[in-house]
């Protein structure tokens, strides 16, 4: 489960970016992770490469958006995570 990090509202030169020109966020903070995937034999789990608190970059159209408690979250599979950046 990932919470998207909002993009900057202004450019480095001070121009304000209107909502219509903003792209869908592709960076977020990992809030929860599953137990990992099963190996080919189905006998043991292979741990995930991300942990709670990691900042990740994910594919633009990956995952499923959900709302819970007035907040928006993104449920991603491991293949949707492109990189861990912090």
Tally the domains of the chain. 1
**65: CB partners within 8 A, 6+ apart:** 72, 73, 74
What is the residue range of 49's domain?
Answer: 2-84
Residues 5, 7, 12: CA angle, nearest 5 degrees:
140
Task: Return the CATH number at 18.
Answer: 2.30.33.40
Q: Could you tell me the pTM of the whole model?
A: 0.73
Residue-by-residue pLDDT tens, the chain, 86 positions? 999 887 656 666 766 665 555 556 689 999 999 988 889 998 999 988 899 999 999 998 888 999 999 999 999 998 899 999 97
61-67's contacts with Cβ under 8 Å and 24+ in sequence apart are 61/24, 63/2
């Amino acid at each position: 489960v990932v919470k998207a990090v909002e993009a900057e509202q202004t450019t480095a030169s001070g121009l304000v970016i209107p909502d219509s020109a903003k792209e869908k966020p592709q960076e977020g903070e990992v809030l929860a992770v599953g137990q990992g995937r099963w190996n080919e034999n189905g006998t043991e789990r292979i741990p995930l490469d991300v942990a709670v608190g990691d900042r990740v970059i994910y594919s633009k159209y990956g995952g499923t958006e959900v709302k819970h408690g007035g907040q928006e979250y993104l449920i991603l599979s491991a293949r949707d995570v492109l990189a861990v950046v912090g």
